[in-house]
């Protein structure tokens, strides 16, 4: 384990995303669609198929289908439930091409299917730099789960063509309880069912969302409040943060009544903890903050953290979110890495993502900007700070995936200027998708409801399988190119080469000079903590006279060579010296020298 | 400071030397931490709590006076042929693991009315992390305001790790007192003491070479925890990464009735931390009771709460706990047959802290009939103890920490009056529960209830609080 940077710990409230209860249950939509969708999306997504067959520096191996017995059927664009995913994992494990990774069950008792695999010939999987694929850790992104399933499926079918120096661990349903609730159509924000007193009134889960207007849906609710934080935007369907002088102003919440009579609405719903927000960096300890009573307090999230620490880390890819882009760590503003352009590794990942999916970004976007809200306690930030892996959120679904054009991405309700004149907001992008692609279907307009005791409110908002997760017919587009991205990332992993500049002997005095080179497209690590390192092991009876036998080289950028390492030693005739090169993101390299 | 002299007798059982090898993994004892109702409260970053506002200026702190309670004489008689009673002086030396476990069992069997011996879990090497629950066990101790007494996870007394002896000494003394004094036993019906004498049994009982841990436990709690640039990562890869800290943190999070923490830690010394904060009223009273320097207590408290990732910082941030830091190994050495003065002060200080707990008390003042079925009932609820029912941070997040449950008749309105303020109507209740609000230490609140009920009926009132326990009483309507 290589701990990384320090960052501030800030407690902030988290605006709960909204959900709805869909009369057309998600269960009914799990059957494969019988017809091709009417609206053919504009092909913004292209998966680049590499043509080379070598594993030389920078080249990509050909995609070759593996001929394993009893291979499960290929991925199809539909939503799967927990049992389906567990069966999928068992089926792949039975082929021998992948191994089951044992993780504890969730709080709700659901198993956590997980597999590890890699190309043969690269040594034990647990010793290889590892790419982790986590689906739906936020408990909401079913599209993220399908993204991981599709990526794993395609990688496994071409397993032999993967770089042998890299291992893969995939956990398609990383938050089983939250995802099960989302799949069931519950008005959840990704939390599990752990009963917590979110509002500090000694009662548990006593004020949750309700279907106030009796339409079978639980959507959003706007309560007029002179001190409310929101106001209607230019498009009256959507809200923007209120500023001084704006009227009317609203408090924004889920649809529901004040069940506990404390003047607040739905502040203590059923559950729980969002596993993606229960990590310790930037963790929100506030009641209702979705991070739980203690960080990583359940067996599953702690086991996940231990697994990430136990393997040599290359990358952790969390497939979730509806921003449609690749986001880097930076869930809250106070973290040191939230600002700026991101690391070179982040920028390299963005480039690879664009090459594979066609989704071009101006920059490596911090998580809070991509999401349009703070994410305190996000797993990515802990991975970045402590594990030291490349930490990315892959927004499988986004408003730009189906023919909506915009330059740059802005995810905040207030426009964030990018390099172009991008005045688009996430809402306006979604509005265009809704109107231009979906014909307006997917949003319930605001309508008044009576809350009783003289109070009224407006109810409306997005339907499920619209904004948070795509309609099933859009899953193919949403998940397209992701396997290619992961494959490219693995191929781009740093490759260490020890170049012996001199290995000479003058009697018993031996001189060794060496340099370490990074042949990959990614750096050898994030920097800070333990970087690249070369150690010299002398044979019995030998003695170092001067020079280095343990050289710390920091981060080696792609295509760069380290400084020269020199050691002069007294070595009996016939003695063999051993040089070992190590780096956080690269497979180890050993060379024997017998001058 | 007056030295106490005790006449001691020594029982016949010999105590073995500190074990060379770890104790075999004990039989699993179910963890004594079950999430209780009421549930967890918010976790805040550590900061000074204004509720400990000083009302006694430093210069007015009285000179320490001799304690009014004398230490009990050494207990001589054995409770059984196999369980010898250690002398009080025996607590002032290093114990072996076997001695420690034997004393736990002896206390549990000797004081079954007041002591329940449980386990938080097991350490990294499989040792039991003992949890002692002390109080009147005839009622539920987890629903009463409580003090948590724990040895610091990095207690270095002299050149060896701080052991459980000091905490056990305090526990034993208080138990003997409860057994002997009716008033003290009565007090234990309204308060609870949780004790964790050895939160890090591996660090205490294992040989140094056998303890493979790079993580410093006293940096591993989730208050002020930060990832580090250091390769060794002394605060752990994530908070509560070690079983010892995880179980202790869960105890603090689950036991929302804990209002105060007494931690036995090394006194930082006057040069270690410049505490300009004057002593608070509760600390000053405890200092008087235990013949300690209040400014020293304040400095030790500030030091303990300021340690990022420490137990005191976590308890303070998590539950607004009042922190009392004591060093039982400081000051004068023992003389003759007497324990050292710092040891002698321990149980008095813990007793003082127990008495500062926010214990709710209620009574009826009068019941007046207004109409045939309409009554005006005046009641009073007060906090007996210097600590409030909620810290300022908790008050900012939750509208109330004291509630009133009503049964037996319908209460249509309640007015509440605090000293010097006009009477204000309470909010509309949720069902039969009225939200009273927050109460400061030693504060009393008068309530006026408009009650609809028949002559001869009984109105049942129950005040309850996250940390103040319960106060229940009946009001007879007429008759």
> How confident is residue A46, by pLDDT bands cut at 50, 70 and 90?
very low
In SS3 terms, A459-481 reads as EEEECCCCCCCCCHHHHHHHHCC
Residue B434 has pLDDT above 50, yes or no: yes
Report B:243-262 residues touching A (Cβ under 8 A).
249-250, 253
pLDDT at residue B178, as a whole number: 95
A499 close to A561: Cβ distance less than 8 angstroms: yes
CB-CB neighbors (< 8 A) of A280 in chain B: 222, 225, 227, 238-239
CB-CB neighbors (< 8 A) of B427 in chain A: 261-262
Higher pLDDT, A185 or A99: A99
Select from A204, A287, A386 the Cβ nearest to the Cβ of B227.
A386
* Edge-to-edge strand ranges of the sheet holding B469-476: B433-437, B402-407, B458-465, B469-476
A33 close to A472: Cβ distance less than 8 angstroms: yes
Asked if this assembly's ipTM is beyond 0.85, the reply is no
Kindly state the percentage of chain A with pLDDT values over 90: 53
In SS3 terms, chain B reads as CCCCCCCCCCCCCCCCCCCCCCCCCCCCCCECCCCCCCCCCCCCCCCCCHHHCCCCCHHHCCCCCCCCCCCCCCCCCCCCCCCCCCCCHHHHCCCCHHHHHHHHHHHHHHCCCCEEEEEEEECCCCCEEEEEEECCCCCCHHHCCEEEEEECCCCEECCEECCCHHHHHHHHHHHHHHHHCHHHHHHCCCCEEEEECCCCHHHHHCCHHHCCCCCCHHHCCCCCCCCCCCCCCCCCCCCCCCHHHHHHHHHHHHCCCEEEEEEECCCCCCCCCCCCCCCCHHHHHHHHHHCCCHHHHHHHHHHHHHCCCCHHHHHHHHHCCEEEEECCCCCCCCCCCCCCHHHHHHHHHHHHHHHCCCEEEEEEEEEEECCCCEEEEEEEEEEECCCCCCCHHHHHHCCCCEEEEEECCEEEEEEEEECCCCCEECCCCECCEEEEECCCCCCEEEEEEEEECCCCCEEEEEEEECCCEEEEEEEECCC
Most confidently predicted of A49-53, A237-241, B467-471:
B467-471
- For residues A303 and B371, what is the distance between their CA atoms, to the nearest angstrom? 66
> How confident is residue A585, by pLDDT bands cut at 50, 70 and 90?
very high
Residue A88 has pLDDT above 70, yes or no: yes
Instruction: Count CB pairs under 8 A between chains A and B.
Output: 119
pLDDT at residue B70, as a whole number: 39
> How confident is residue A70, by pLDDT bands cut at 50, 70 and 90?
confident
pLDDT at residue A68, as a whole number: 58
Q: Do B37 and A202 touch (CB under 8 A)?
A: yes
Q: Do B253 and A197 touch (CB under 8 A)?
A: no
Residue A407 has pLDDT above 60, yes or no: no
Instruction: For residue range A460-504, list pLDDT tens digits in order.
Output: 988 877 788 988 988 999 999 999 999 999 999 999 999 999 999
Distance from CA of B118 to the nearest CA of A (A): 22
- For residues A11 and B33, what is the distance between their CA atoms, to the nearest angstrom? 27
> How confident is residue A284, by pLDDT bands cut at 50, 70 and 90?
confident
The DSSP output letter for A277 is G
Residue B33 has pLDDT above 50, yes or no: no
Select from A260, A295, A529 the Cβ nearest to the Cβ of B222.
A295
Give the pLDDT mean for B38-43: 36
Select from B238, B403, B466 the Cβ nearest to the Cβ of A296.
B238
For chain B, the average pLDDT equals 79
> How confident is residue A311, by pLDDT bands cut at 50, 70 and 90?
very high
Q: Do A6 and B464 touch (CB under 8 A)?
A: no
pLDDT at residue B110, as a whole number: 95
pLDDT at residue B211, as a whole number: 56
Q: Do B397 and A285 touch (CB under 8 A)?
A: no
Residue B309 has pLDDT above 80, yes or no: yes
pLDDT at residue A69, as a whole number: 63
Instruction: For residue range A450-471, list pLDDT tens digits in order.
Output: 887 778 899 998 887 778 898 8
Give the pLDDT mean for B97-108: 94
B112 touches chain A (CB under 8 A): no
- For residues A322 and A470, what is the distance between their CA atoms, to the nearest angstrom? 9
Instruction: For residue range A503-520, list pLDDT tens digits in order.
Output: 999 999 999 999 999 999
Residue B118 has pLDDT above 90, yes or no: yes
Distance from CA of B38 to the nearest CA of A (A): 5
Which region among A251-265, A360-374, B180-194 has the lowest average model confidence (pLDDT)?
A: A251-265
Q: Do B42 and A296 touch (CB under 8 A)?
A: no
Q: Do B39 and A204 touch (CB under 8 A)?
A: yes
- For residues B173 and B149, what is the distance between their CA atoms, to the nearest angstrom? 14
Give the pLDDT mean for A333-339: 88
- For residues A182 and A18, what is the distance between their CA atoms, to the nearest angstrom? 11
B430 touches chain A (CB under 8 A): yes
pLDDT at residue A204, as a whole number: 66
Give the pLDDT mean for B277-297: 88
Residue B238: closest C-alpha in chain A: A280
Q: Do A195 and B39 touch (CB under 8 A)?
A: yes
Q: Do B41 and A200 touch (CB under 8 A)?
A: yes
Give the pLDDT mean for A538-559: 93
Give the pLDDT mean for B85-105: 86
Distance from CA of B249 to the nearest CA of A (A): 8
B118 close to B29: Cβ distance less than 8 angstroms: yes
pLDDT at residue A329, as a whole number: 96
Instruction: For residue range B356-392, list pLDDT tens digits in order.
Output: 999 999 999 999 999 889 999 999 999 999 999 998 8
A368 close to A375: Cβ distance less than 8 angstroms: yes
- What tokens appear for A508 in the block? 């018993």
Kindly state the percentage of chain A with pLDDT values over 70: 79
In this structure, the dihedral spanned by the alpha carbons of residues B194, B197, B202 and B204, taken in order and rounded to 10 degrees, is 160
B432 touches chain A (CB under 8 A): no
Kindly state the percentage of chain B with pLDDT values over 70: 77
Residue B274 has pLDDT above 70, yes or no: no
- For residues A224 and A247, what is the distance between their CA atoms, to the nearest angstrom? 10
- For residues B70 and A251, what is the distance between their CA atoms, to the nearest angstrom? 61
Residue A203: closest C-alpha in chain B: B38
pLDDT at residue A65, as a whole number: 45
Q: Do A2 and B403 touch (CB under 8 A)?
A: no
Higher pLDDT, A429 or B456: B456
Residue B249 has pLDDT above 90, yes or no: yes
Strand partners, A593: A577
Distance from CA of A223 to the nearest CA of B (A): 20
Select from A9, A11, A305 the Cβ nearest to the Cβ of B226.
A9
Which of A4, A195, A285, A299 is best to mutate for the B interface (most B CBs within 10 A)? Answer: A285
Residue A205: closest C-alpha in chain B: B39
Distance from CA of B436 to the nearest CA of A (A): 11
Select from B40, B222, B228 the Cβ nearest to the Cβ of A280.
B222
pLDDT at residue A43, as a whole number: 27
Residue A415 has pLDDT above 70, yes or no: no
- For residues A569 and B342, what is the distance between their CA atoms, to the nearest angstrom? 59
- For residues A493 and A121, what is the distance between their CA atoms, to the nearest angstrom? 17
Residue A51 has pLDDT above 60, yes or no: no
Give the pLDDT mean for B167-186: 94
Q: Do A280 and B317 touch (CB under 8 A)?
A: no
- For residues A246 and A231, what is the distance between their CA atoms, to the nearest angstrom? 7
């Amino acid at each position: 384990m290589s701990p990384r940077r320090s960052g501030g710990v800030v407690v902030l409230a988290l605006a709960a995303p909204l959900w709805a209860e869909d009369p057309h249950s998600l269960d009914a939509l799990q059957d494969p669609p019988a017809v091709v969708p009417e609206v053919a999306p504009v092909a913004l997504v292209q998966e680049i198929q590499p043509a080379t067959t070598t594993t030389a520096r920078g080249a990509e191996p050909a995609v070759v289908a593996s001929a394993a017995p009893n291979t499960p059927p290929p991925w199809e664009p539909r939503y799967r439930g927990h049992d389906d995913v567990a069966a999928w994992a068992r089926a792949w494990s039975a082929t021998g091409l992948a191994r089951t990774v044992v993780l504890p069950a969730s709080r709700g008792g659901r198993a956590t299917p997980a597999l590890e695999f890699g190309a043969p010939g690269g040594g034990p999987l647990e010793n290889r730099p590892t790419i982790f694929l986590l689906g739906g850790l936020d408990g909401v992104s079913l599209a993220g789960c399908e993204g991981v399933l599709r990526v794993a499926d395609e990688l496994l079918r071409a397993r032999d063509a993967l770089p042998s120096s890299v291992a893969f661990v995939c956990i398609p349903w990383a938050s089983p309880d939250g995802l099960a609730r989302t799949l069931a159509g519950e008005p959840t924000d990704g939390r599990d069912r752990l009963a917590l007193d979110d509002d500090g009134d000694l009662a548990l889960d006593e004020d949750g969302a309700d279907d106030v207007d009796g339409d079978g849906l639980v959507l959003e609710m706007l309560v007029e409040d002179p001190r409310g934080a929101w106001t209607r935007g230019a498009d009256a369907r959507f809200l923007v943060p209120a500023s001084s002088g704006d009227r009317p102003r609203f408090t924004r919440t889920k649809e529901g009544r004040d069940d506990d009579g404390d003047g607040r609405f739905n502040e203590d719903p059923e559950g729980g903890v969002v596993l993606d927000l229960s990590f310790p960096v930037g963790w929100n300890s506030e009641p209702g903050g979705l991070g739980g009573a203690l960080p990583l307090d359940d067996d599953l999230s702690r086991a996940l953290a231990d697994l990430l620490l136990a393997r040599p880390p290359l990358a952790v890819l969390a497939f979730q979110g509806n921003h449609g882009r690749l986001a880097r760590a930076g869930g809250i503003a106070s973290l040191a890495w939230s600002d700026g352009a991101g690391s070179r590794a982040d920028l390299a990942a963005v480039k690879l993502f664009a090459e594979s999916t066609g989704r071009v970004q101006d920059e490596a976007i911090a998580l809070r900007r991509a999401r349009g809200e703070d994410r305190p306690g996000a797993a990515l930030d802990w991975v970045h700070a402590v594990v030291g892996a490349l930490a990315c959120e892959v927004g499988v679904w986004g408003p730009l995936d189906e023919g909506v054009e915009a330059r740059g991405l802005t995810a905040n309700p207030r426009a964030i200027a990018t390099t172009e004149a991008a005045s688009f907001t996430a809402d306006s992008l979604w509005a265009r998708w809704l109107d231009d692609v979906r014909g307006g279907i997917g949003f319930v307009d605001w309508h008044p409801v009576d809350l009783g005791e003289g109070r009224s409110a407006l109810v409306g908002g997005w339907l499920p399988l619209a904004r948070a997760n795509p309609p099933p017919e859009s899953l193919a587009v949403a998940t397209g190119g992701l396997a290619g991205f992961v494959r490219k990332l693995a191929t781009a992993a740093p490759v260490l080469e020890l170049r012996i500049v001199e290995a000479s002997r003058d009697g018993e005095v031996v001189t060794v000079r060496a340099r370490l080179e990074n042949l990959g497209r990614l750096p050898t690590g994030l920097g800070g903590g333990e970087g690249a390192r070369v150690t010299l092991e002398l044979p019995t009876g030998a003695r170092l006279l001067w020079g280095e036998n343990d050289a710390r080289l920091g981060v080696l950028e792609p295509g760069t060579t380290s400084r020269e390492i020199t050691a002069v030693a007294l070595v009996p005739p016939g003695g063999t010296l051993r040089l070992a090169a190590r780096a956080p993101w690269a497979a180890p390299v050993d060379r024997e020298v017998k001058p | 400071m007056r030295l106490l002299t005790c006449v001691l007798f020594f029982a016949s059982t010999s105590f073995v030397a500190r074990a060379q090898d770890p104790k075999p993994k004990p039989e699993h004892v179910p963890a004594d931490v079950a999430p209780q109702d009421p549930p967890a409260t918010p976790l805040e970053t550590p900061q000074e709590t204004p509720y400990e506002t000083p009302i006694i200026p430093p210069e007015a702190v009285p000179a320490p006076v001799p304690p009014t309670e004398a230490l009990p004489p050494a207990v001589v008689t054995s409770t059984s042929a196999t369980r010898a009673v250690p002398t009080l002086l025996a607590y002032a030396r290093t114990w072996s693991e076997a001695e420690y476990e034997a004393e736990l069992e002896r206390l549990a069997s000797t004081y079954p009315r007041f002591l329940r011996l449980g386990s938080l879990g097991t350490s990294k090497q499989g040792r039991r992390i003992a949890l002692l629950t002390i109080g009147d066990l005839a009622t539920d101790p987890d629903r009463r305001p409580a003090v948590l007494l724990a040895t610091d996870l990095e207690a270095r007394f002299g050149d060896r790790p701080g052991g459980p002896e000091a905490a056990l000494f305090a526990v034993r003394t208080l138990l003997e007192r409860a057994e002997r004094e009716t008033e003290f036993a009565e007090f234990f019906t309204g308060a609870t003491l949780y004790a964790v004498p050895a939160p890090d049994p591996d660090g205490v009982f294992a040989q140094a070479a056998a303890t493979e841990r790079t993580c410093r436990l006293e940096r591993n709690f989730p208050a002020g925890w930060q990832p580090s640039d250091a390769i060794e990562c002394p605060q752990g890869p994530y908070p509560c990464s070690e079983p010892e800290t995880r179980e202790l943190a869960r105890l603090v999070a689950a036991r929302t009735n804990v209002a105060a923490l007494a931690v036995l830690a090394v006194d930082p010394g006057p040069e270690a931390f410049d505490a300009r904060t004057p002593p608070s009223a509760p600390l000053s009273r405890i200092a008087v009771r235990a013949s300690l320097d209040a400014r020293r207590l304040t400095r030790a408290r500030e030091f303990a709460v300021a340690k990022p990732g420490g137990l005191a910082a976590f308890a303070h941030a998590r539950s607004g706990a009042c922190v009392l830091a004591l060093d039982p190994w400081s000051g004068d050495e023992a003389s003759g047959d007497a324990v050292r003065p710092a040891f002698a002060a321990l149980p008095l200080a813990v007793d003082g802290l127990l008495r500062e707990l926010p214990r709710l008390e209620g009574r009826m003042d009068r019941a007046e009939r207004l109409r045939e079925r309409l009554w005006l009932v005046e009641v009073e609820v007060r906090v007996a103890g210097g600590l409030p029912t909620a810290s300022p941070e908790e008050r900012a997040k939750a509208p109330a920490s004291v509630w009133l449950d009503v049964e037996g008749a319908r209460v249509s309105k309640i007015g509440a009056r605090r000293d010097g303020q006009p009477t204000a109507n309470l909010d509309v209740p949720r069902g039969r529960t009225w939200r009273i609000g927050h109460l400061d230490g030693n504060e009393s609140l008068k309530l006026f209830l408009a009650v609809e009920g028949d002559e001869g009926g009984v109105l049942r009132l129950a005040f309850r609080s996250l940390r103040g326990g319960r106060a229940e009483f009946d009001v007879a309507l007429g008759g």
